Amino acid sequence: MKLRVSFKDPDAIDCAIDAYMADLRKSLKGQSLTDMEIDAVLELRADRVRKNVSGFFLYGEYAEVELDFDPLTGVGTAELKKVGE
């Protein structure tokens, strides 16, 4: 038995990536990098993360999660569907 949940939140991806970048900045501060080097690393990483997650979000804000439940036990698994699947 499948349960599909669709959601739309135009700010969710940017907020999540910003939080990830803030955590990454903290972890890089302990390394022997200058602030300019850290900024360069963060810019490249943010671009890569945005590119990797873009396939899961339509227009950068809409996603669909599919939950598959065993009808007898109610135990389920979740899968984030890529756009167009």
pLDDT at residue 24, rounded to an integer: 92
Q: How far, in whole angstroms, is CA 84 from its chain's centroid?
A: 17
The owner of tokens 């900024």 is 39
Q: Is the pLDDT of residue 67 over 80?
A: no
Exposed, middle or buried by CB within 10 Å (0-12, 13-18, 19+), for 66? middle
Parse the chain into domains and list their residue ranges.
2-81
User: 3 or 50: whose pLDDT is higher?
Assistant: 50
Chain segment 48-61, per-residue pLDDT in tens: 998 888 877 888 78
CA distance 56 to 60: 8
CA distance 33 to 14: 25
Chain segment 5-48, per-residue pLDDT in tens: 788 887 888 888 999 999 999 999 988 999 999 999 999 999 99
Predicted model pTM: 0.68
